[in-house]
Structure 1
Amino acid sequence: MPFAKNNFPRLPLWSELPSFNLHLDQLLDITNSFVEPMIEEKITKTMMHNYFKAGIIEAPIKKRYARKHLAGAIVVGVFKNVFSLSEIEQGLRLILADTSPAEGYDNFVKTFNNQSSQETIKMPPVANISLEPTSTMLIQYSAIQSVLFWFLARRLIQKNQDL
């Protein structure tokens, strides 16, 4: 897996994904080379079949997997430990309603890589709280921000689903 200068993960753009059809084992090898270092688990054949069956990722034609399948597997792999599969499916549906798979994937990757490449994560001053910025506080702050961003993303997905 390519890493940015700060040893954080870097995901491939659409144009960096193989342009030829893949077999499932190849798709899993490539997906796991990017996802496993982050989530510390592999995406399996069973998981992929469940994603296809649930409509989270479009099913392949004649067991041939294209860029859109690989991109979908990477996105699902990144988000699966944070969001439910239903929330991921809803989010992907919303994005793909307004853009092509290539553009939607590249927007995600550019944002991910930009945020991942930041030199350091700094805890901004917390209003009305006098705390020393220790490593423990940075961990707590990051965890709290993760929960709040997750909550915000869920609310936005639900709001857009109701439209």
Structure 2
Amino acid sequence: MSNNNSQTPNLPKWHELPNFSLHLDQVISITNTYVEPIIGEKLTKTMMHNYFKSGVLESPQGKLHTQMQLAGAIIVDLLKKIFTLTEIKAGLKIMLADTSPQVAYDTFVDIFNEQASRESLSSKALTNIDIEAATPIIQMEYAAVESILFWVDSRKILYENIESKK
């Protein structure tokens, strides 16, 4: 994945997240530290309240949040760019049916960090364009097309799993 910043985006593993209760402002601040440089938008209190209200994230006990809400906020904030909250909720439900939140989160982070550290995504070789020698605009178009195709594949897998769990 090509990155204009000199630093590759990197998400924290579960054990690197604070292991003590956090206030909502702290959850938002930590989430924004990791996610804003990637997606270019800040998580807000309103967004978090929507995540809790819609059931995408488990509401905290009282006003204090745990690693689970923080890890969830990081993942949901990244996924909301390509999936609806309903789709994210369904995907998380399927994923958490087979594993713990910690394992699910760490798996997502491992995949993200490995893919983000790659120079470029080249899952499908182009036959008529040398993407390495292409102009930045053509490289952008390639990345946009790949994003769409990965999104389509992800949704297909999600909906196949939703149907198989019914």
Q: What is the CA RMSD across the aligned residues, in angstroms?
A: 1.8
Distance 2:121 2:69 in 1: 35
Deviations 1:21-74 (A, max 9, x none): 000011111011111111111111111011001110000001110000000000
Distance 1:24 1:50 in 2: 13
1:17–1:122: structure 2 CA closer, same or farther, 3 Å change rule?
A: closer
1:131 to 129, 132, 155: 129
1:18–1:150: structure 2 CA closer, same or farther, 3 Å change rule?
A: same
- Give % identity: 45
Distance 2:153 2:13 in 1: 26
Amino acid at match of 1:143: A
Match of 1:149 in 2: 150
Q: Which runs of 4+ in 1 moved over 6 A?
A: none
After superposition, residues 3-152 of structure 1 pair within 5 angstroms as: 7-118=7-118, 120-121=119-120, 125-127=125-127, 130-133=128-131, 134-135=134-135, 136-152=137-153
Distance 2:14 2:130 in 1: 42
State whether residues 28 and 44 of structure 1, in contact with CA within 8 Å, keep that contact through their aligned partners in structure 2: yes
Count of aligned pairs:
157
State whether residues 6 and 117 of structure 1, in contact with CA within 8 Å, keep that contact through their aligned partners in structure 2: no
Amino acid at match of 1:68: M
Q: SS of the residue aligned with 1:43? A: coil
Deviations 1:59-97 (A, max 9, x none): 000111000000000001111111111111111111101
1:107–1:35: structure 2 CA closer, same or farther, 3 Å change rule?
A: same
Distance 2:66 2:121 in 1: 39
Q: Which runs of 5+ in 2 are unaligned?
A: none
Amino acid at match of 2:150: F
State whether residues 115 and 121 of structure 2, in contact with CA within 8 Å, keep that contact through their aligned partners in structure 1: no
Distance 1:65 1:105 in 2: 16
Distance 2:130 2:101 in 1: 44
Q: Which runs of 5+ in 1 are unaligned?
A: none
State whether residues 22 and 66 of structure 2, in contact with CA within 8 Å, keep that contact through their aligned partners in structure 1: yes
| TM-score normalized by the length of structure 2 | 0.88
Distance 1:156 1:122 in 2: 20
1:24–1:122: structure 2 CA closer, same or farther, 3 Å change rule?
A: closer
1:122–1:87: structure 2 CA closer, same or farther, 3 Å change rule?
A: closer
